[in-house]
């Protein structure tokens, strides 16, 4: 029998990469390495709101000081912006924003819109169901 999924409570969950996978921000590629994936729920937002959302989610997963998690979320952000602008590659996204930080990612807490600030609840569009039981 498959275990019932549990609802993820951010940021207290211990296995962050698995939770990021359950949330839909990253996945394994053909070689078994972690890679970002586009997040379709925010495609219709303004690009500055998408960057603020990704910055808040990086905080929620506890990855502000973890370079690898920042890299994975930046990769996911690039793919989301690629889908939004219908570009053909990640490289064109970085070229469009003329920087490796995609126009200022991660956005500092003080510069974000109020709904994406640290004081507010995590802005999820639906609950994340995480099947990871390694708590």
The tens digit of pLDDT for each residue in 60-79 reads 887 777 888 888 899 999 99
3-state SS class at 84 = helix
Share of the chain above pLDDT 90, in %: 29
Do the Cβ atoms of 38 and 89 come closer than 8 Å? no
Q: What pLDDT, on a 0 to 100 scale, did the predictor assign at position 125?
A: 65
Q: What pLDDT, on a 0 to 100 scale, did the predictor assign at position 3?
A: 52
Phi, psi (rounded to 5 degrees) for 47: -60, -35
3-state SS class at 28 = strand
Q: What pLDDT, on a 0 to 100 scale, did the predictor assign at position 78?
A: 93
CA distances from 26 to 49, 114, 120 (A): 20, 26, 24
Closest C-alpha among 23, 107, 100, 83 to residue 91: 100
């Amino acid at each position: 029998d498959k275990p019932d999924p549990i609802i993820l409570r951010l940021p207290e969950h211990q296995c962050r990469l698995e939770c990021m996978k359950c949330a839909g921000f990253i996945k394994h590629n053909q070689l078994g390495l972690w890679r970002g994936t586009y997040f379709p729920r925010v495609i219709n937002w303004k690009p500055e709101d998408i960057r603020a959302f990704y910055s808040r989610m990086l905080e929620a997963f506890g990855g502000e000081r973890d370079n690898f998690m920042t890299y994975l979320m930046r990769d996911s952000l690039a793919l989301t912006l690629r889908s939004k602008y219908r570009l053909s590659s990640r490289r064109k996204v970085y070229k469009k924003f003329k920087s490796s930080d995609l126009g200022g990612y991660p956005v500092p807490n003080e510069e974000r819109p109020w709904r994406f600030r640290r004081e507010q609840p995590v802005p999820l569009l639906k609950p994340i169901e995480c099947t990871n039981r390694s708590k």
